[in-house]
Amino acid sequence: AKASERFEQMDVNKDGYLDRSDREARSAQRRAECFGKADADKNGQLARAELPKDHKLTAHFDMLDTDKNGTLSASEFAKGNSM
C-alpha cells in the first residue's frame, strides 16, 4: 500500500507513468514549498534577511535579484534553486 501511495504522489500528471514531466513538476512544487516557508512575512518576496545565513542562495542573492529591487521573487528564487 505504501508503494502505491508513493507512486500516486510522484505521478504528478496522473498518467500512470513516472517520467521527466513528473520530476520537473515535483521539483517545482518543492521549490514553491521552500519559498513559502522562507517568505516569513508572506508578501511574495524574499528579503535577504528572510534567508538563513547558511542557505545556498545567500551568497548569490545579488546575482539572483535580476530586477535589483532588493528582494527575490518566486521565479528568481526558483532559478537560484535550479543552479
The percent of residues above 70 in pLDDT, for the chain, comes to 99
> How far from 7 is each of 11, 16, 22, 27, 63, CA to CA, in Å?
6, 9, 11, 15, 37
Once rounded to an integer, what is the mean pLDDT over residues 3-14? 92
CB 21 within 8 A of CB 52: no
In 10 A of CB 20, how many CB atoms? 7
Phi (first) and psi of residue 39, to 5 degrees: -75, 80
**pLDDT higher than 80, residue 28:** yes
pLDDT tier for residue 83 given thresholds of 50, 70 and 90? low
